């Protein structure tokens, strides 16, 4: 039995399988099996009212999971699937409450990773698959990250290499007359608006969006080591104070520093948004718990950095303006 067949057998038995996607690795279970889905919540330590995204092979399965699907949703699926875009739609009555968090909506996405796509094609149904990490922790972008997080508690981890996007999918709600951007991600906001022909409302919390969706909590994607974001001059001052207190400091910066700062570990970050996003979670995981404090230069506030800034805002312990 090859690994793909093994994964399908486990999923049909109601077990968990960690799968690679182009965004991050997901912890997958049969979305139609509430007992299997419950194992996701138990292993992750995830609140039971926090909805999951159902991964499907493609747009042909939309009607299996959603009702009253608007034309905008089909246009977006045609334009961006398979890819890192999640659509929030009205659910079919048979979709388990365990998947939707008890809401009348469901999140759907068709991942572009070839291994995940092949798995979904052969499995035939939908897979509930949040990020394969403990709730609130840094998302995994390699199979090794999943092993580090769960050890033998996850029955199988499919290794599809490093995730090429590196941050989670863009989430767009289409359950009323006003399309809403709930979470920026792998598909830029401007590309979605170009297909729709109009602007998206951007909601950055469950409260303002009036819907619960993945990744909208104030604290998320966070390392165990405190992370402080800010402008480089202020971070250098903060680093000096921390060093004087005997703390082990790591300074992560995009702007060039003329000379090393004695006693402070430093690492240069990618200057463009796609590379920064691809490396972000692996970087935070690598340095987590190796220092007393992580100081990171805040990226620009321009549109191409929207998803990265969203993740860092939720991951950071403190912001220095």
Tens-digit pLDDT profile for residues 96-116: 999 999 999 999 999 999 999
Structurally, what CATH architecture does the domain formed by 227-320 represent? 3-Layer(aba) Sandwich (3.40)
Q: Can 3-209 and 227-320 be said to share one CATH topology? A: no
- The pLDDT, as a whole number, for residue 167 is 97
Tell me how far apart the alpha carbons of residues 109 and 59 are, in angstroms, rounded to a whole number: 9
pLDDT at position 321: 63
CB 15 within 8 A of CB 7: no
Give 210-265 pLDDT, tens digit per residue: 788 887 777 889 999 999 999 999 999 999 999 999 999 999 999 998 877 888 99
Round to whole Å and give the CA distance between 317 and 214. Answer: 20
68-82, 199-213, 217-231, 292-306: least confidently modelled range: 199-213
In the chain, domain spans: 3-209, 227-320
65 in Cβ contact with 81 (< 8 Å): no
At residue 140, what are phi and psi to the nearest 5 degrees?
-90, 140
What confidence score (pLDDT) does residue 215 get?
Answer: 77
Six token digits for residue 15: 């077990």
pLDDT of residue 147: 97
Interatomic CA distance for residues 40 and 35, integer angstroms: 9
Residue pair 210/299 in contact (Cβ under 8 Å)? The answer is: no
The answer to whether 85 touches 191, Cβ cutoff 8 Å, is no
In this prediction, residues 120-148 reach a mean pLDDT of 97
Q: What are phi and psi of 55, to 5 degrees?
A: -95, 130
pLDDT at residue number 35: 97
pLDDT value at residue 106: 98
| Residue 188 · residue 152 · CB < 8 Å | no
Q: How far is CA 148 from CA 136, 138, 189, 221, 285, in A?
A: 15, 12, 33, 16, 10
pLDDT of amino acid 186: 95
Fold of 3-209: DHBP synthase (3.90.870)
Residue 206 pLDDT greater than 80, yes or no: no
pLDDT at position 1 is 65
Greatest alpha-carbon span in the chain: 62
**Encoded tokens for 299:** 């990226």
pLDDT for 148 equals 96
Q: How confident is the model at residue 72 (pLDDT cuts 50, 70, 90)?
A: very high
pLDDT over 70 percentage in the chain: 98
Cα Rg of the chain, angstroms: 20
Q: Which region, left, alpha or beta, applies to residue 122 given φ > 0 means left and ψ of -120 to 50 means alpha?
A: alpha
146, two tokens? 């999943």
Of the candidates 156, 45, 161, 52, the one whose C-alpha atom is nearest the C-alpha of residue 108 is 52
Round to whole Å and give the CA distance between 154 and 40: 10
- Residue 164: pLDDT over 90: yes
Supply the pLDDT for residue 218. Answer: 78
Mean pLDDT of the chain: 94
pLDDT at 236: 94
Strand, helix or coil for residue 182: strand
Per-residue pLDDT tens digits for 9-67: 999 999 999 999 999 999 999 999 999 999 999 999 998 889 999 999 999 999 999 99
């Amino acid at each position: 039995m090859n690994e793909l067949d093994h994964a399908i057998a486990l999923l049909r038995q109601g077990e968990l399988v960690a799968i690679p996607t182009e965004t991050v690795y997901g912890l997958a279970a049969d979305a139609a099996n509430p007992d299997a889905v419950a194992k996701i919540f138990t292993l992750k330590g995830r609140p039971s009212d926090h909805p999951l995204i159902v991964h499907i092979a493609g747009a042909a399965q939309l009607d299996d999971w959603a009702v009253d699907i608007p034309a905008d949703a089909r246009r977006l699926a045609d334009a961006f699937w398979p890819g890192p875009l999640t659509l929030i739609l009205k659910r079919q009555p048979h979709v388990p409450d365990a998947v939707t968090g008890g809401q009348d909506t469901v999140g759907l996405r068709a991942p572009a990773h070839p291994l995940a796509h092949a798995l979904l094609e052969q499995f035939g149904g939908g897979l509930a698959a949040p990020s394969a990490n403990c709730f609130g922790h840094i998302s995994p972008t390699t199979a090794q990250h999943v092993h580090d997080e769960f050890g033998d508690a996850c029955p199988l981890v499919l290794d599809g290499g490093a995730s090429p996007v590196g941050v989670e999918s863009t989430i767009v709600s289409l359950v009323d007359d006003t399309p809403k951007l709930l979470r920026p991600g792998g598909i830029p906001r401007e590309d979605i608006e170009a297909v729709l022909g109009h602007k998206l409302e951007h909601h950055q919390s469950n409260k303002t969006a009036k819907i619960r969706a993945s990744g909208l909590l104030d604290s998320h994607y966070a390392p165990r080591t405190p992370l402080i974001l800010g402008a480089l001059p202020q971070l250098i001052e903060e680093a000096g104070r921390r060093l004087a207190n005997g703390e082990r400091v790591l300074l992560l910066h995009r702007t060039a520093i003329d000379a090393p700062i004695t006693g402070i570990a430093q690492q240069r970050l990618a200057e463009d948004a796609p590379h920064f996003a691809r490396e972000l979670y692996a970087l935070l995981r690598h340095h987590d718990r190796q220092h007393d404090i992580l100081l990171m230069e805040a990226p620009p506030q321009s549109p191409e950095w929207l998803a990265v800034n969203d993740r860092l805002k939720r991951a950071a312990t403190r912001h220095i303006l």
